[in-house]
A and B are shown apart, each in its own frame.
Chain A
Amino acid sequence: MATGIRDKVVILGMGCTKFGERWEAGAEELMVEAFEEAMADAGIERNQIEAAWLGSAFVNYNLGRSAVPMSVSLRLPEIPVTRVENYCASGTESFRGACYAVASGAYDIALAMGVEKLKDTGYGGLPALGSMDGPKWMTASASTAPGGFAQLASAYAAKFGVPMEDLKRAIAHVSWKSHQNGTLNPKAHLRNAVSMEQILAAPIVAYPLGLFDCCGVSDGAACAVVTTPEIARSMGKQDLVAVKALQIAVTSGSEVGHNSWDGHHFVTAASCSKKAYKEAGITNPREELSMMEVHDCFSITELVTMEDLYISERGEAWKDALEGFYDRDGKVPCQIDGGLKCFGHPIGASGLRMMYEMYNQLLGRAGQRQLANPRFGLTHNLGGRPTENVCSVGIVGRYGE
């Protein structure tokens, strides 16, 4: 009988670069930067790492294929290194690989790295896909990420009869809150506060999403070293941040191919979060979660995700958002570090960046944005499009609690 991952693995150390337009650095340099911080935090030498995972999404302009660029950049001594890619969940997949390696007893100490170098394409937004990205090109619409996720809004408004003006205000509040939080984070890409008026008056990127409804495109890397609670204790670590749940859910293709879905939420997230709560032993997430870092690639993504995480009722997330339920001083603060919106979204790094904030909050190291006595923190990634995607949910908390 499987028992899940709860309290089997703890985080020994973490590192995260400043996210942003890192014109001076390539993916190799970004990885070293995150790695050095994590190693210092963990208090170990590189030869103590027994296995490593790398998450990166794009191949072009980034690191290329395979785990070789990471092993070479970090000078890892002929150990197993594996590159994983699962859209925007790539960072969390990397973390999952390292955690499972430790939990299985195969290795004592494992490394998870996530990195993305996006600012070498020569134009804004994510790199455009071409036919070399797969045969689907021959029938795929000439879409972009904002256009893919924007459709959640048209479907959500239609499903729940919410006037588009109200929905626009609710998602504007989502971005407003993340900008407020971003001002408190020295590593965030965007550290400026913006007003609701600015957000609502911004030019449209993909109807109904305006500029401030979309997260930026950033370079960055984040890294975690994981081990067992016993080993961490033997190394003298006192406060241990333990993994409570790690779940991934990938679409079966029913959303895009079967008429049973109304386009207003994520089928994968609704299933993934349920499994994660069960694994972590959480029965009432609205009451038990202290904080969340969710995949706010677009404001509407964050909004509907609140329903798929069973924190807001169906059709009610827009009201919760407007009432400040997810603000830093709200009941369940979300995107305390600024989120993808302001911390930034170097795809492969994002899952680990979220974990980095949870880790720092649980250890009381979050500086100006420190929450009072957080217990459970949730991370969430959503890769792909609402129609076809990968969802990951991670839950962390103090070991033994």
Chain B
Amino acid sequence: MIGITSFGGYIPRLRLSRKSVFQHIGWLNPATGAVSQGERSMCNWDEDSITMAVAAARDCLVGKDKGGVDGVYLASTTLPFSDRLGAGVVATALNLRDDIHTADITSSQRSGISALIAGLRAVKSGEGKNVLVAAAEKREARCGTNYEMLFGDGAASVLLGDEDVVAEFKGSYSVSHDFVDHYRGQNEQFDHTWEERWTRDEGYAKIAPQAIKGLMAKLGITMAEVDKLIFPCLFKREHAAIAKAVGATPDKVVDNLHEVCGETGSAHPLVMLVATLEAARPGERILVAGYGQGSEALYFQVTDRIQGLARRTGIHGSLANKEATDNYIKYLAFRSLIPTDLGGRAEVAHPTALSILWRDRKMILGLVGGKCQKCGTPQFPKADVCVNPECNAVYTQVDYEFAEEPAIVKTFTGDMLAASIDPPNIYGLIQFEAGGRFMADFTDCRLAEVKVGMPMRMTFRKHLDDKGRGFTGYFWKAAPRV
């Protein structure tokens, strides 16, 4: 038996009220009022597709043996680098083994589901024992469009393998069409879209059922043998119509999370799948489809093992951990959709020394420090000479991972002078309960809630945007433990 052995999800904590978007810019396109219900998820200023993928993958790996992971597929159409492997950053951040297969699967809204199929094929072939799939999306839309309302930011991750399977893979079916309802040219920030009526009637309505029906025919099943039907669709009415066309009653159709999150692009089928698995009971049969330049569908059956999975945050937990905002201008500023002035302090150049990034990759991307084998002191960074003043032993340290270690705030401030798009910049000394500390930026918190002794956990975030050289630097920050 092969299939999903674990799963995790991540939705950014910030949720932008769609009503506030409409209040600010609905005058430009009053028709957007029709989709202005609820809220959409929105990345903090220090998040992107890679950081969200890391968050979802960490959630997925809770209680699992990281050392067993021998493949990583990262799916997204919004990776920060055109030529630097995103899956490589994710694997380093997770401090996975070096001798593994890593690849990015991109260029289509279907890439998340394609990565899932690629991962399952790798496991089925026996080439991969434990393949991690992560999908994340942070899409931009022009101000005042439906898409600005409809899109959300988020990520999901699944671990695939042939042991301790929680959802057995039964089969998949694919159709490919160069159907271009929208496209984003190379180096373009926004999509160019065709008329919605055509997209809906000639695209979704015809192509999605082709894959779903094709899969059922291939496996010799009917909708009676599907308990949950998952497929993202931007259009609410069409979502219901497609379900009807493939014979699914409304109770089987999984909600597309429009009201609470928005559509997370290539990650969305996996986001919906993970959300479904979080509440699934053994025996439940799930059909999940992705859409974009064709459609692909997969069929799973949940096993008893699902009850033995360790507790995780998941999509539901992420959705519950929210900070609602009606500050549309902040959304624009965080995404650099309006020019902002961060002062002269922000103009200092920060070229990244790539040779240092390579040499210190475990420290910078993996938050790996050292532990002195003589006195047992965990420390960051790892050093040749032990930091413990009572020890100072030389060459005694072995790698020590801090990323999952619980920490507390030891000292803190909220700095109005530091260049920040979200002042005050909050930072302080983070102390790990099992030993070790370092000065860290805080994120996803407000100054008023920060106290000395407050429990924190580490989170992988953007550390710098070197716009002059098009480079994104990553490091770890501290966020309140939820």
Measured CB to CB, the closest approach of chain A to B478, in angstroms, equals 10
Interface residues of A in 130-157 (CB under 8 A from B): 130-132, 135, 137-144, 146-148, 150-155, 157
Distance between Cα atoms of A158 and B408 in the complex (Å): 13
Distance between Cα atoms of A262 and B431 in the complex (Å): 10
A400 is an interface residue with CB less than 8 A from chain B: no
**Smallest CB-CB A-B distances: 3 pairs:** A147-B415, A123-B344, A151-B411
A72 is an interface residue with CB less than 8 A from chain B: no
Q: Which chain B positions have C-beta within 8 A of A124? A: 417
Do B350 and A139 touch (CB < 8 A)?
A: no
Do B388 and A143 touch (CB < 8 A)?
A: no
Say which residue of B410, B417, B440, B441 sits within 8 Å of A146 (CB atoms).
Answer: B417
Do A138 and B416 touch (CB < 8 A)?
A: no
Say which residue of A131, A140, A158, A253 sits within 8 Å of B452 (CB atoms).
Answer: A158
Q: Which chain B positions have C-beta within 8 A of A258? A: 377, 379, 387-389, 437
> In the complex where A131-B353, A256-B438 touch, is A206 in contact with B416 (Cβ < 8 A)?
yes
Do A141 and B427 touch (CB < 8 A)?
A: yes
Q: Which chain B positions have C-beta within 8 A of A254? A: 387-389
Interface residues of B in 410-449 (CB under 8 A from A): 410-420, 424-425, 427-429, 431, 435-441, 447
**C-beta contact mask, A244-278 vs B, less than 8 Å → 1, else 0?**
00000000111011111011000000000000000
> In the complex where A207-B414, A263-B411 touch, is A135 in contact with B356 (Cβ < 8 A)?
yes
Do A151 and B412 touch (CB < 8 A)?
A: yes
Chain A residue with the shortest CB-CB distance to B441: A141
Chain A residue with the shortest CB-CB distance to B437: A259
Do B429 and A147 touch (CB < 8 A)?
A: no
Q: Which chain A positions have C-beta within 8 A of B33? A: none
Do B345 and A128 touch (CB < 8 A)?
A: yes
Measured CB to CB, the closest approach of chain B to A136, in angstroms, equals 10
Do A122 and B387 touch (CB < 8 A)?
A: no
Partner-contacting stretch, out of B63-71, B165-173, B179-187, B357-365: B357-365
8 other contacts beyond A138-B352, A259-B435, with CB at 8 A cut-off? A125-B345, A125-B417, A141-B425, A142-B427, A146-B415, A150-B415, A205-B417, A206-B417
Q: Which of A153, A154, A252 has the most CB of B within 10 A?
A: A154
Distance between Cα atoms of A281 and B419 in the complex (Å): 47
* Contact sample, A vs B, 16 pairs, CB 8 Å cutoff: A123-B343, A131-B352, A138-B356, A138-B473, A139-B381, A141-B440, A142-B441, A143-B425, A154-B428, A155-B452, A157-B452, A206-B415, A207-B447, A253-B383, A259-B435, A386-B411
Distance between Cα atoms of A96 and B340 in the complex (Å): 46
Measured CB to CB, the closest approach of chain A to B46, in angstroms, equals 10
Q: Which chain B positions have C-beta within 8 A of A142? A: 418-420, 425, 427, 441
Say which residue of B417, B439, B452 sits within 8 Å of A141 (CB atoms).
Answer: B439
Do B416 and A205 touch (CB < 8 A)?
A: yes
Do B439 and A143 touch (CB < 8 A)?
A: yes
Distance between Cα atoms of A139 and B418 in the complex (Å): 16
Q: Which chain A positions have C-beta within 8 A of B419? A: 128, 142
Q: Which chain B positions have C-beta within 8 A of A125? A: 345, 417
Say which residue of A121, A137, A151 sits within 8 Å of B429 (CB atoms).
Answer: A151
Chain A residue with the shortest CB-CB distance to B466: A131
Q: Which of B345, B351, B356, B389 has the most CB of A within 10 A?
A: B345
A25 is an interface residue with CB less than 8 A from chain B: no
Q: Which chain A positions have C-beta within 8 A of B440? A: 141
Distance between Cα atoms of A301 and B358 in the complex (Å): 38
Distance between Cα atoms of A139 and B38 in the complex (Å): 37
Chain A residue with the shortest CB-CB distance to B387: A257
Distance between Cα atoms of A262 and B343 in the complex (Å): 33
Do B415 and A158 touch (CB < 8 A)?
A: no
Say which residue of A152, A206, A262 sits within 8 Å of B414 (CB atoms).
Answer: A206
Q: Which chain B positions have C-beta within 8 A of A260? A: 389
Distance between Cα atoms of A135 and B359 in the complex (Å): 11
Q: Which chain A positions have C-beta within 8 A of B34? A: none
Chain B residue with the shortest CB-CB distance to A139: B475
Do A257 and B379 touch (CB < 8 A)?
A: yes
Distance between Cα atoms of A150 and B447 in the complex (Å): 13
Do A143 and B348 touch (CB < 8 A)?
A: no
B126 is an interface residue with CB less than 8 A from chain A: no
Distance between Cα atoms of A121 and B347 in the complex (Å): 11
Q: Which of A152, A157, A259 has the most CB of B within 10 A?
A: A259
**C-beta contact mask, B163-200 vs A, less than 8 Å → 1, else 0?**
00000000000000000000000000000000000000
Distance between Cα atoms of A263 and B412 in the complex (Å): 10
B482 is an interface residue with CB less than 8 A from chain A: no
Say which residue of A155, A252, A259 sits within 8 Å of B411 (CB atoms).
Answer: A155
Measured CB to CB, the closest approach of chain A to B329, in angstroms, equals 22
A387 is an interface residue with CB less than 8 A from chain B: yes
Distance between Cα atoms of A128 and B420 in the complex (Å): 13
> In the complex where A142-B419, A143-B427, A158-B452 touch, is A123 in contact with B410 (Cβ < 8 A)?
no
Do B379 and A138 touch (CB < 8 A)?
A: no
A129 is an interface residue with CB less than 8 A from chain B: yes
Q: Which of B417, B473, B475 has the most CB of A within 10 A?
A: B417
Measured CB to CB, the closest approach of chain B to A201, in angstroms, equals 16
> In the complex where A207-B424, A263-B411 touch, is A130 in contact with B387 (Cβ < 8 A)?
no
Distance between Cα atoms of A260 and B417 in the complex (Å): 30
Do B348 and A130 touch (CB < 8 A)?
A: yes
A40 is an interface residue with CB less than 8 A from chain B: no
Measured CB to CB, the closest approach of chain A to B406, in angstroms, equals 14
Do A256 and B439 touch (CB < 8 A)?
A: yes
Q: Which chain B positions have C-beta within 8 A of A59? A: none
Distance between Cα atoms of A86 and B254 in the complex (Å): 63
> In the complex where A158-B453, A387-B429 touch, is A140 in contact with B344 (Cβ < 8 A)?
no
Do A122 and B344 touch (CB < 8 A)?
A: yes
Distance between Cα atoms of A153 and B415 in the complex (Å): 13
B7 is an interface residue with CB less than 8 A from chain A: no
Distance between Cα atoms of A203 and B424 in the complex (Å): 12
Do B351 and A387 touch (CB < 8 A)?
A: no
Measured CB to CB, the closest approach of chain A to B370, in angstroms, equals 10
Q: Which of B352, B389, B431 has the most CB of A within 10 A?
A: B389
Do B411 and A152 touch (CB < 8 A)?
A: yes
Do B437 and A256 touch (CB < 8 A)?
A: yes
B349 is an interface residue with CB less than 8 A from chain A: yes
Say which residue of A129, A144, A153 sits within 8 Å of B417 (CB atoms).
Answer: A144
Chain B residue with the shortest CB-CB distance to A125: B417
A106 is an interface residue with CB less than 8 A from chain B: no
B73 is an interface residue with CB less than 8 A from chain A: no
Chain A residue with the shortest CB-CB distance to B409: A154
Q: Which of A135, A208, A386 has the most CB of B within 10 A?
A: A135
Q: Which chain A positions have C-beta within 8 A of B439? A: 140-141, 143, 256, 385, 387
Do B410 and A135 touch (CB < 8 A)?
A: no
A79 is an interface residue with CB less than 8 A from chain B: no
Chain B residue with the shortest CB-CB distance to A253: B387
> In the complex where A258-B389, A259-B435 touch, is A139 in contact with B364 (Cβ < 8 A)?
yes
Measured CB to CB, the closest approach of chain B to A85, in angstroms, equals 19
**C-beta contact mask, B455-482 vs A, less than 8 Å → 1, else 0?**
0000000010000000001010000000
Do A138 and B412 touch (CB < 8 A)?
A: no
